[in-house]
Every structure is written in structure tokens, then in C-alpha cells.
Amino acid sequence: MATRSDLALTPRAASALRESWDDLVRLFANVGFGVSLLAVWATLTLIGVIIDQGKDAATYAAAYGPPGARLIERLDLGNIYHSAAYVGVLGLILCSMTAATFTRVIPRRIPRLGPVKIDAIPLHASVRVAGTPEEVRARVAEFFAARGWQIRKREFGGEEWTFADKNNWARRGVLVAHVGFVIIAAGTTLYWAKGYSGQFAVLSGQTATIPQTGATIALQRFSYRIDPIQTKAGVVYQPIDYVSDARVTGKDGVARDAVIRVNHPYDVDGTLVYQSTYGFAIDLRLTKDGRPVPGAPDQPLKEGEGFPIDGTSRSVQYTRFVGTIDRTTGGAGSDPRPNDPGVVLTAYDGDHSIGSVLVPLGRPLDLGAGYVLTPARYILYSGFQYGYDPGIPIVGLGAFVLLAGLCISLYFLPARLFVTVRAVEGGTEVGLAATTVKGYDVFEDRFRDIVDALRRTAPQPAAEGA
Amino acid sequence: MDPTRQWLDQTLLEIGIASYVVAALALLAYSLFRLRVLRTVGMPLAILGCAAQFGELGARWWMTGVWPLTNLYGSLSLFSAFAVLVFLIFAFKYDLALIGGPVLAIAAIALGYATTWNEGYMPAVPALQSYWIKIHVPIVIGAYASFMVAFCVSLIYLLKSAVESHYRNRSLRGVAAAPGGERIDVRLAAYSSAQPAGMLRADTPAIDDAAAHGDGFAVWIAGLPSLARLDVMQYRIIAIGLPLLSLGIITGAMWANEAWGHYWQWDPKETAALLSWIVYAAFMHLHTRPGWRGTRTAWVSVLGFASIVFCYLGVNIWISGLHSYKM
């Protein structure tokens, strides 16, 4: 059995391990590395925007050709936001933020007070004033305090330094923003762990069940409003409203009336149900030699659904509902409302489309070999989405913290003035230098104003330098 | 539609476009010739155009009762109005009227392009019938407008920086070709002569040197704000845009959660906005590094605005998704 001493590393190995760890932390804390990760994140996101996500291989082959489709499939680019690469980059960014926060942000943005070489700081100046160093020190402290600067005095090597800070608290802005990002990541993870979502469509008069909770939604009536609007380009049929009247039964077994419309979700036991879409299901009747054919659809089909014709290699898909057939052209009219409805049916032989046809509702379509297909009637259906996300409050909190961090770090400039006072021939000299967390350029004008004001208020100005 | 109101809408739109075009020309000429009268003409016209545009959007709302930002025409119109507003704030606060030419020119183009999407008065589709549209859209458009102004500042930065490199290289070539064969570091010489003790150095010594020798182009470019000032300005403008974009993404997520059942759907528009956010977050991180501040961050700002154009127009027009409200 191995003892603790057997498992202990030799000092050399421990030192090598520590060095490697320190190198790794330095790498992750490096701003360049962090920005490189952001660039990779941006690139992957851009790929996700350009390549339609969640499509099948045939769609990609049609859009990008077979080699492109193979590349998309192999690199998982069609599901990029849930790919290992995407999640991995986000993980690396979180690691980089953590390393940067502890090794750079905290030590550099919240530095300890200490003496500096004033002349080595680009924003520096010296002002000669009358009075003893003690008097001048007191006056300088008063000068800055009166202008809202936080004054602290320290002695280093027998020399007294005055430190004047403005917005010192705002040095934590970046830290706050990073914490917000981490909170958002935690909230998102909570959804992955405990949340769920889905979608379903219900025909008028039918009932659907949310599988995760067992809640049922019986669609009593679906209604919509589409208005013809006269525009400069002609009449446009604009959807104005669509709404589902349903009876929803939750865990308590009590059925309640619910009106579900866009932007107004219905809450059933913590799961929100959203009105998302609607459509026209079609009752298709297939006969052969005048008799019903086995295998023909016994439920109305929704757009995109189809059925095989028994005993053949062919199938029929209900492709699209046409509200109004233009009787002059025989094609689809622009009015989507079902004034003179029809359906576009597409026939397939295996996977290959062999043609589409627009069939008015109620008119039989001869498929050949004795088969006749009749789109008998339409039934409105309502499409719902549902979701439960326990991470939302946490994501919301994270977003607020991130935004607060951004505002703190962008709108409040933490600046520190290093002030030293010493006796020189013929008076006292005040040396001062300024640093900020955003470089020197951003503070140049204000520093000049401070120096000018100091010169003006000094009792016996003998300014030179600067 | 009440013809008087329709006339008001059309008149304000025409005043807006005409003001922007003339202001853009005047301010471009001002940046070229530095004649104060051109600035005196351009700035009030910019204010007039901006006021007319806000007035026109308000008039549309008053006329139809429909929030005017439900289509690309309305949002592009607000974009140009906000861009001019951001420019005016910076121009008056930081004396940046010299960047007005490109800002007004882009605003005029955006407004002109917007009119091609103006189909008249249309009620909003159900997804847009939410109070969130009054919060989310102006915030996001404000962010886009800020980034456009920052982009113009970055372009001027890059121009001045490139010209500085050009003059510096020309000076170095001149030294190398000197008959004595002596090699002098022109940059250091210029810095040491131009640098006042204790304050920040002059950041375009080669341009200043050429200007001092009577080079007309150098005199013109030296009159633009210093590189340091332009860098600070692009940072300050992006510092307005980034929190707005963040807030826009957050309010968009809250609206999406209410309308579509999830705060994040990986819709192309959402992800394109995220892409822009990442680019500007990278800008902010790089800006903390002295070695990256300046030309490199200016290029990131240009890249950022390209991502904004893609997010704003590219995704709306060319990529279908939940945000494809082209009309």
C-alpha cells in the first residue's frame, strides 16, 4: 500500500510542476491570450450566424455542395453553439477571466500605496511655492480634499508622500463585470441541468400534453386577424393578432380557461406556454378505384407532413396552404386569408421530388393507377412553445452585475496623484504625478487643469517646469 | 390618412435629408479648408436635420398611433438621428466638429437608404406588439449610432497615423540617402525637440516637422486633433456604445423570453449582436494595453463597425430568422 511519503513529489518535480502551473496561469491571465479567445469565440459565432443551424445534410448539400456539407457535418458547424469547440472556448474564456482577475485585475487595478519616480511618469509636474514643507503639505492636502480627492499620507524612507485618489472604488469595475459574466454562465448552466423546453401544435378541438409536467392544453378555438394594408408597393396582408382560447389543466387537476397570445405567455405550474405560430391542417382523403386506401392519413396533416402511398415507392407531401387562389392565373394569390383556399401538394418518388401542384380544396386530384387524392377541408391549428428555466433570475442578476461593472469601469476614471513636497533653494517644491487605469492620454487635460489650479492657488507662485 | 399630417411627415423627412446633405458638404469642406464660416453653416444644419428627424418619427407615431420603429425605415431613420446627436454632443463638448463630415455623410446615406424601405404606414406584426419595442429598439439603435461615430473617429485616426508613417519613412529615406551616410533616428530627434518636459509627447512629430517646412498636406493633417485625442475620443464614444449594446442585448433577451419562450434562441440577429459585443469587448480589453492602444484598437473599432453593419442590415436583409422584419 502506498504511503503518503511515497506519493509526495520530489522538491525538483514539485518546483517544475509549480513553474508549469505559474506559466499556465500567466498564459491565461495574459490580455493577448484572452483577446485571442474572444476572437475565436467571435469567429465561431460568425460561422453560426452564416450557416443555418440545425438543418439536415441535404439542406447543407443544396446550399454549399456535397464537400461543404461534409465539412459542416464533420466539424459540427450545423450545431455550432452546442459543439464541444464552442462550449470549450467559453470554458477557456472563463478560466482566462479568473486567472486575469486574480493575477492582473486585482493587483494592478488596486495597487498598494508606494513611492514612485515622479519624473518617470509621463504626467508629471513640479510647482514651487512659498512656505515650509509642513505648511505646504497641509495646504496641498486641503487643496485636493476640497476638490473631492481622497487623501492618504504615508512615509517611505523618511520621506512623506501624499496620495490623492479619485474614484478609487471604481477600480473594482472590471472585477464586477467579470463576476457578472460568471453569474450568467452559472445561470445558463442551471438551465442545462434542470430546465426544459419544447414545442407542439394542437388542432382546434384537440388536446396536447407537456411531457415533463403532464399539464394538458385543450385548444378550443384559434383565431387570427390579418388586415390588408395599402402601401406604396401595393396591398400587403399584415398579421395583426393571433390568439388561442384553451383550457389548461395543471398539477391540481383543475381545468382553467386560458387566453394565450403572442407576447403574453400562460404560466402553468411554473412552465410558461407561448403562442408561437399557427397554420392550416388539411384533411386529405385517398381512394383507389373509389375505395379508401389502407395507410392513408387518418389525421389532418400539417404543412411539411406527408404519407407514403401503399404498395408504391411514392409519397405525397402537403407542402403549403394557399389562402386564396388567383383565378386568373390559377396560382397562389397574395391574400393569405382562406377566401378560396387550396393546397400545394408535392409528389416524391423515393427522396426525389417529381412535381408540385396547387389543388383547390374539395377538388379530387388524379394520381394515376386509380388513386385519387382529395384535400377535403382545413382545420386551424395553433403552435405553442413551452419552457421552464430556473436559471433566468440568475442570468438576470448576472446581466445586471455585468452592466453595472461595465458602467463603473467605463464611466468612472480611477486616478491617483502621487505628491511629494520637499524644501529646495528659495522655497518649497511640490512634485506631483498622475496615473490612471486607462493610461495617460485620457487624463492629460484634467492633469493640466489641476497643475494650473495648484499654481494659481499657491500663495507665492514661482512656477517652473512642466 | 389625414393629408396635413402626411404633408408634415414628408416635409420633415425632406428637411432632414436636405439638412444632412448640406451639413455634410459644409463640414467636409470645413475639415479641408478650416474656414470657420463652413462650420457655422454646417453645425446648425446638423442640429436642424436631427430635430427634423426626431420630429418626423414623432409625427409618424402621432399620425398612425403605431410606434415608428417597427420596420427598417423607422430604425434606420432613428439610427441617423442618434448618430448626429452623438456627434453633436461630442462636437460641442470636445470640439470635434472636424469629424462631422463623414458622420453627416453616413447619416444622410442611411436616411436616404431608409426611404427605399418606406412602404407607408403599417401596423406592427403581433411579435412587435409589446412595450419592449419602445425600450429595446432605441437602446440598440443608440449603440449602433455611437459605434458609427466611433468608426468615423477611428478612420481619421488611421488616416493621420498612416500619414505620420509616410512622412516618417520619407524622412528616414532622406537621411539614408544623405551623402555623409550618417544615420540619425529622426523619430527620436523629433520627439526630443517637440516634447515639453513632464507632459505627453507630440505624437505626430514627422507631420509637425513637414508642416513646419511648409508641406501643405502636412499642414492640413496637423490641424486634425492629435492621435492621442482621437484615441481617447474613439474610446469615449465606444464607452457609450458598449453599455448600450449590452443593455440592448439584455432587454432583447427579456423580450425574447416573453415572446418566444427563451431569452436566448441563437437567432442570427442575437448571435450577430453577440459577435459585435465580443469585438467591442476585445477593443476595451486591448485598450488597457499601451502597446495595443492606438492604431491597432482603431482597426478593431473599424472591424467592430463592420460587424454592426452585418448585424443591423446584413442579418435583417439577407439572413432569415426571428428578426427578419424587412419592411
For the stretch B121-124, contacts whose Cβ atoms lie closer than 8 Å and that sit 24 or more positions apart, written own/partner, are B121/A229, B121/B1, B121/B60, B121/B63, B121/B64, B121/B66, B122/A229, B122/A231, B122/A236, B122/A238, B122/B66, B122/B70, B122/B71, B122/B327, B123/A227, B123/A229, B123/A238, B123/A240, B123/B64, B123/B66, B124/B66, B124/B67, B124/B70
Q: Are A263 and B258 in contact (CB under 8 A)?
A: yes
pLDDT tens-digit map of A319-357: 999 999 988 888 888 888 999 999 999 999 888 888 899
Q: Which of residues 90-119 of A touch B (CB under 8 A)?
A: 119
Q: What is the pLDDT of residue A1?
A: 52
Q: Which residues of B touch A242 (CB under 8 A)?
A: 126
**Higher-confidence position of B173 and A319:** A319
Between the alpha carbon of residue A120 and those of residues A117, A249, B295, the distances in Å are 5, 74, 24
Q: Which residues pair with A125 in a beta bridge?
A: A432
CB B72 within 8 A of CB B316: yes
Q: State the pLDDT at residue B29.
A: 94
Residue B188 has pLDDT above 70, yes or no: no
For residue B72, the model assigns a pLDDT of 86
Mean pLDDT over each residue of chain B, to the nearest integer:
85
Q: Judge: A53–B262 Cβ closer than 8 Å, yes or no.
A: no
| Predicted local confidence at residue A234, as pLDDT | 80
pLDDT band, very low/low/confident/very high, at B181 (cuts 50, 70, 90): very low
Rg value, chain B, Cα? 23
The whole-number pLDDT of residue A463 equals 45
Q: Shortest Cα distance from B178 to chain A (angstroms)?
A: 34
Reduced to 3 states (helix: H, G, I; strand: E, B; else coil), residue A365 is strand
In B34-99, which ranges are continuous DSSP H helix? Answer: 36-64, 72-94
Q: pLDDT digit string (tens) for A379-419?
A: 999 999 999 999 999 999 999 999 999 999 999 999 999 99
Residues of A in contact with B243 (CB under 8 A): 403, 406-407, 410
The Cα-based distances of A349 to A60, A308, A314, A346 in angstroms read 21, 10, 4, 10
Note whether B100 and B42 are within 8 A (CB). yes
User: CA A133 to CA A424: how far, in whole Å?
Assistant: 9
Identify the pLDDT of residue A3.
Answer: 57
Note down pLDDT in tens along chain A; length 466 residues: 555 556 677 888 888 999 999 999 999 999 889 999 999 999 999 898 888 888 888 888 888 888 889 999 888 888 888 889 999 999 999 999 899 888 887 887 778 888 999 988 989 999 888 888 888 999 999 999 999 999 999 999 888 899 999 999 998 898 899 899 999 999 989 988 999 989 899 998 999 999 999 999 999 999 989 888 887 778 888 888 889 999 999 999 999 999 998 888 999 999 999 998 889 999 999 898 888 887 778 889 999 899 888 878 888 999 999 999 988 888 888 888 999 999 999 999 888 888 899 999 999 998 888 889 999 999 999 999 999 999 999 999 999 999 999 999 999 999 999 999 988 887 889 999 999 988 888 898 899 999 999 888 876 544 444 3
Does ipTM surpass 0.90 in this model? no
More confident residue, B13 or B127: B13
The answer to whether A145 faces chain B, any CB pair under 8 Å, is: no
Record the pTM: 0.83
What DSSP state is assigned to residue A298?
S
Chain centroid to CA B278: 18
Higher pLDDT, B318 or A55: A55
Q: Which residues of B touch A276 (CB under 8 A)?
A: 260-261
**In percent, how much of chain B has pLDDT > 70?**
88
B44-97 pLDDT, tens digit each: 999 999 999 999 999 888 887 778 888 888 899 999 999 999 999 999 998 889
**Distance between CA B313 and CA B308 in Å, rounded?**
8
The confidence score (pLDDT) of residue A229 equals: 84
pLDDT for A442: 85
| Residue B230 to residues A230, A261, B202, Cα–Cα distance (Å) | 48, 50, 13
Closest Cβ opposite residue B250 in set A125, A403, A465: A403
With beta carbons less than 8 A apart as the criterion, state whether B87 and B149 touch: yes
Predicted pLDDT of residue B156: 95
Best residue of A263, A386, A397, A417 to probe chain B, by most B CBs closer than 10 Å: A263
Neighbours of A386 (CB within 10 A): 25
Answer yes or no: is pLDDT of B163 > 80.
Answer: yes
pLDDT tens string B28-54: 999 988 899 999 999 999 999 999 999
A280 pairs with which residues across the strands?
A380
Q: Which of A49, A119, A265 sits opposite B268 (nearest CB)?
A: A49
